[in-house]
């Protein structure tokens, strides 16, 4: 009995030594004060994916629901999304059919338009960067050319089409010229602004290192002005895609623009809606591709 009493009676602290807290009481206090464990990597990715994807999915679902309700009401003139899918199902599941002439699938229509955009846009990139460097480097060139650029860039793209048809006597190069003349202005303006904003420290370093013209262009000028140049390239690709759709409505042949115009003449509104969705998706992809190229070239200084 005396041995049992000695195990439950707290021992008396020795003289000169601080009393120790019972170990069983310290453990819950440490657990309560410790930070929570970090979430696992897959949970962080899932949370980021949900935060990125859920808002557009919810907004798109609400938009489609409202469209379906409004277009299904009596007196509605536009087809609901369910009818669009039903009417255009063959175009969706078979985009590469070719029945000859203009009767080809949506993929061939888009590829024909993208080919014209590629030719016109690449010409605009080469000429626009060259003219932008000239205007940005030379005060004389800026005073002489800038007023002309400011006037010409306000001309609507389709206003150039009759002139280009008269000059080239063919619809395909005329459409390429319309794309070129539409996309070149933001490239010129942004490139010239980027060249004029090059830091004087960079110019002094180039003088100290005695860089020649080619070395100064490739090592100083282009890297310093790259964020401005790619801003112009992004605006240019968007304008080029807008211009080709409008130009193809007038020149005819294979292309997404003429497909929309032909569907309008045949009163096939569902085909027009499907074509507009493809036009938007392709334009978005083109913009993101140029933005990714800008981020890669500028090492992340190009926003977007």
Confidence band for 35, pLDDT divided at 50, 70 and 90? low
With contact defined as beta carbons under 8 Å apart, do 83 and 270 qualify? Answer: yes
Which range among 125-134, 208-217, 294-303 shows the weakest confidence by mean pLDDT?
A: 294-303
Confidence band for 48, pLDDT divided at 50, 70 and 90? confident
Mean pLDDT of the chain: 84
The stretch 1-7 carries a mean pLDDT of 42
Q: Answer yes or no: is pLDDT of 3 > 50.
A: no
With contact defined as beta carbons under 8 Å apart, do 248 and 301 qualify? Answer: no
Whole-number percent of the chain with pLDDT over 70: 85
Cα–Cα separations (whole angstroms), residue 299 to 174, 206, 293, 302: 37, 21, 10, 8
State residue 135's pLDDT score.
92
Residues 6+ apart with CB under 8 A from 84: 270, 273, 274
Cα–Cα separations (whole angstroms), residue 208 to 127, 198, 205, 212: 31, 16, 5, 11
State residue 239's pLDDT score.
93
Model pTM score: 0.77
* Ramachandran quadrant class, 35 (left: phi over 0; alpha: psi -120 to 50; beta: rest): beta
Confidence band for 65, pLDDT divided at 50, 70 and 90? very high
Q: Answer yes or no: is pLDDT of 240 > 90.
A: yes
CA neighbor of 117 nearest in space, from 157, 151, 149? 157
The stretch 289-297 carries a mean pLDDT of 89
Q: Answer yes or no: is pLDDT of 130 > 90.
A: yes
According to DSSP H, which parts of the chain are helical? 2-8, 23-33, 41-71, 81-87, 89-93, 106-137, 139-152, 161-168, 171-196, 200-209, 213-216, 222-251, 256-265, 269-298
């Amino acid at each position: 009995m005396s041995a049992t009493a000695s195990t439950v009676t707290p021992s008396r602290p020795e003289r000169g030594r601080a009393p120790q807290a019972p170990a069983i009481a310290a453990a819950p206090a440490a657990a309560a004060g410790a930070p929570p464990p970090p979430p696992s990597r897959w949970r962080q990715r899932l949370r980021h994916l949900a935060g990125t994807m859920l808002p557009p999915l919810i907004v798109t679902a609400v938009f489609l629901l409202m469209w379906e309700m409004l277009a299904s009401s009596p007196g509605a003139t536009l087809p609901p999304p369910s009818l669009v899918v039903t009417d255009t199902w063959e175009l969706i599941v078979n985009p590469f059919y070719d029945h000859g002439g203009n009767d080809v699938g949506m993929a061939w229509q888009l590829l024909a338009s993208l080919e014209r955009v590629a030719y016109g846009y690449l010409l605009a990139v080469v000429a626009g960067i060259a003219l932008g460097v000239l205007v940005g480097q030379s005060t004389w060139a800026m005073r002489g050319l800038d007023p002309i650029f400011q006037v010409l860039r306000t001309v609507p793209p389709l206003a150039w089409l009759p002139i280009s048809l008269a000059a080239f006597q063919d619809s395909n190069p005329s459409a390429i010229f319309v794309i070129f003349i539409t996309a070149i202005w933001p490239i010129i303006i942004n490139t010239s602004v980027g060249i004029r904003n090059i830091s004087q420290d960079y110019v002094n370093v180039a003088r100290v290192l005695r860089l020649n013209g080619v070395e100064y262009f490739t090592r100083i000028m282009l890297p310093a002005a790259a964020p401005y140049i790619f801003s112009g390239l992004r605006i240019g690709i968007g304008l080029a895609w807008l211009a080709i759709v409008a130009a193809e409505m007038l020149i005819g042949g294979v292309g997404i623009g003429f497909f929309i115009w032909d569907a309008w003449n045949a009163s096939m509104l569902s085909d027009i809606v499907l074509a507009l969705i493809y036009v938007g998706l392709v334009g978005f992809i083109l913009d993101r591709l140029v933005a990714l190229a800008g981020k890669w070239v500028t090492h992340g200084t190009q926003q977007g």
